């Protein structure tokens, strides 16, 4: 197997190749003056097994087109097996048709990836397993929740509690796992989203957090409102320090300011979305999954 890093995840591609001890394939990419994407493999790939690494953070449609071009070309040129590692699988929050007439966009992405010839898919902390269950090719979810919790735990925490800012199935699974990794307790809050306005409301509940350090673990920070709401509730209830370990830091607009002003000491994410807060790499996760 050989690794190719797409334009959104060049550095991660290098880390994945290193973690797996595999060769990194060279490719050439550019944008034409009108914005169209150009892609070329610089080495022969006929008969090769390829692992394509490309995360779909914003601008997600551009990154998706890049991934489609890389996958289509690999199939067209005769690669023997194409495995995709897409740490952030964009559109996974559109996991159901919540309102009549809506596009089930997560399934459109599935059609496109399968249509251009992907043979298998790995992602990290997918928002909903329903998205992966619709795939006809093998599609696997990995989690960074344990490593995110360990990042904070290694610095010494007071009687830590791991908290999910909502009680969706995947959110609970993540905190249960993170709590197991650092041998802590876990709990969750309840959150509701208005399907028309997107507004969210988080409900306070009895939580034993007075004087304790809390790590909020979640899959995505986009506007920051989910994390900020949870942090505000925790601080009001007397939590000592509140941290946030969130896999995909999309951080739109003033998300970070909002979260910090709600009392979060530190936000840490993964290199699924590269940035200054990406302190945990997802490379060991795919290395472990492919080479246990
Ligand atoms: C949704 O339920 C997810 O798990 C995240 O909590 C959510 O997408 C975060 O979005 P935002 O930062 O905009 O509140």
Q: In a 3-state reduction of DSSP, which class is residue 253? A: coil
Estimate the crossing angle of helix 105-115 against helix 60-76, to 10 degrees. Answer: 20
Q: Are residues 128 and 154 in the same domain?
A: no
Alpha-carbon radius of gyration of the chain: 20
257 inside domain:
yes
Q: Are residues 215 and 175 in the same domain?
A: yes
Largest CA distance in the chain: 60
Distance 38 CA to ligand 1 centre (A): 33
- Nearest atom, ligand 1, residue 170 CA: 4
Q: Are residues 124 and 176 in the same domain?
A: no
Q: Are residues 12 and 74 in the same domain?
A: yes
Q: Are residues 136 and 10 in the same domain?
A: yes
Q: How many domains does the chain have?
A: 2
Q: Are residues 63 and 159 in the same domain?
A: no
Q: Are residues 68 and 91 in the same domain?
A: yes
54 CB-side CA count, 13 A: 25
b/e map of 147-167 (b: 16 or more CB within 10 Å)?
A: bbbebbbeeebeebbbbbbbe
137 CB-side CA count, 13 A: 18
276 inside domain:
no
Distance CA 42, CA 72 (A): 15
Estimate the crossing angle of helix 10-20 against helix 283-290, to 10 degrees. Answer: 40
Task: List, chain by chain if needed, residues with CB within 6 Å of any ligand 1 atom.
Answer: 93, 127, 165-166, 168, 171, 200, 218-226
Q: Are 24 and 13 in contact (CB under 8 A)?
A: yes
Output the residue whose Cα is nearest ligand 1's atom 7: 220
Q: Are 123 and 132 in contact (CB under 8 A)?
A: yes
Give, for all 292 residues of the chain, the pLDDT tens digit.
999 999 999 999 999 999 999 999 999 999 999 999 999 999 999 999 999 999 999 999 999 999 999 999 999 999 999 999 999 999 999 999 999 999 999 999 999 999 999 999 999 999 999 999 999 999 999 999 999 999 999 988 999 999 999 999 999 999 999 999 999 999 999 999 888 888 899 998 888 999 999 999 999 999 999 999 999 999 999 999 999 999 999 999 999 999 999 999 999 999 999 999 999 999 999 999 998 7
Q: In a 3-state reduction of DSSP, which class is residue 121? A: strand
Distance 184 CA to ligand 1 centre (A): 23
29 inside domain:
yes
- Nearest atom, ligand 1, residue 229 CA: 14
> Any idea which residues carry the catalytic annotation?
191
Q: Which of 207, 250, 202 is nearest to 228 (CA)?
A: 202
User: Which alpha helices (H) appear in the chain, and where do they start and end?
Assistant: 10-20, 60-76, 105-115, 129-133, 145-153, 169-182, 225-236, 255-261, 283-290
Give residue 176's pLDDT: 98
Give residue 180's pLDDT: 98
CATH number of the domain bearing residue 13: 3.40.50.2020
Domain that holds residue 156: 145-271
- Nearest atom, ligand 1, residue 171 CA: 4
Tokens, residue 161: 């509690």
210 inside domain:
yes
Residue partners of 112: CB distance under 8 A and separation at least 6: 64, 68
131 inside domain:
yes
What's the CA angle centered on 127, arms 208 and 119, to 5 degrees?
145
277 inside domain:
no
Q: Are residues 128 and 180 in the same domain?
A: no
191 inside domain:
yes
Distance CA 175, CA 21 (A): 31
Q: Are 29 and 62 in contact (CB under 8 A)?
A: no
Q: Are residues 85 and 184 in the same domain?
A: no
Mutate to test the pocket of ligand 1, among 166, 224, 226 (most ligand atoms within 8 A of CB): 226
Q: Are residues 136 and 149 in the same domain?
A: no
Output the residue whose Cα is nearest ligand 1's atom 2: 166
- Nearest atom, ligand 1, residue 222 CA: 12
Mutate to test the pocket of ligand 1, among 222, 230, 233, 256 (most ligand atoms within 8 A of CB): 222
107 inside domain:
yes
Distance 6 CA to ligand 1 centre (A): 26
Q: Are residues 65 and 168 in the same domain?
A: no
- Nearest atom, ligand 1, residue 223 CA: 13
Q: Are residues 168 and 66 in the same domain?
A: no
Distance 104 CA to ligand 1 centre (A): 18
Distance 226 CA to ligand 1 centre (A): 6
Output the residue whose Cα is nearest ligand 1's atom 8: 220
Q: Are 27 and 40 in contact (CB under 8 A)?
A: yes
Q: Are 71 and 82 in contact (CB under 8 A)?
A: yes
Examine residue 59 and say whether the peptide bond preceding it is cis (omega within 30 degrees of 0): yes
Q: Are 272 and 58 in contact (CB under 8 A)?
A: no
Distance 220 CA to ligand 1 centre (A): 5
Q: Which of 107, 75, 112, 79 is nearest to 91 (CA)?
A: 107
């Amino acid at each position: 197997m050989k690794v190719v890093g797409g334009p959104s995840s060049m550095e991660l591609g290098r880390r994945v190749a290193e973690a797996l001890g595999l060769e990194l394939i060279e490719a050439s990419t550019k944008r034409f003056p009108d914005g169209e994407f150009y892609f070329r493999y610089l080495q022969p790939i006929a008969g090769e097994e390829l692992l394509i690494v490309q995360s779909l953070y914003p601008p997600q449609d551009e990154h998706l087109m890049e991934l489609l071009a890389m996958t289509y070309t690999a199939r067209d040129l005769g690669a023997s097996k194409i495995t995709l590692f897409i740490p952030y699988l964009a559109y996974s929050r559109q996991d159901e048709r919540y309102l009549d007439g809506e596009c089930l966009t997560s399934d459109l992405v599935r059609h496109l990836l399968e249509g251009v010839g992907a043979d298998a898919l790995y992602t990290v902390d997918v928002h909903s397993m329903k998205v992966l269950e619709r795939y006809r090719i093998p599609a696997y979810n990995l989690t960074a929740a344990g490593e995110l919790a360990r990042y904070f735990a290694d610095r010494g925490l007071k009687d830590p509690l791991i908290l999910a800012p909502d009680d969706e199935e995947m959110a609970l699974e993540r905190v249960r796992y993170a709590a197991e990794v650092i041998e802590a307790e876990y709990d969750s809050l309840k959150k509701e989203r208005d399907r028309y306005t997107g507004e969210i409301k988080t409900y306070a509940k009895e939580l034993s957090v007075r004087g304790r350090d809390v790590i909020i673990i979640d899959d995505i920070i986009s506007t920051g409102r989910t994390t900020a709401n949870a942090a505000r509730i925790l601080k009001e209830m007397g939590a000592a320090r509140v941290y946030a370990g969130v896999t995909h830091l999309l951080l739109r607009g003033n998300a970070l300011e909002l979260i910090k002003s709600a009392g979060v000491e530190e936000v840490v994410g993964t290199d699924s979305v590269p940035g200054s807060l990406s302190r945990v790499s997802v490379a060991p996760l795919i290395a472990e999954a492919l080479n246990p």
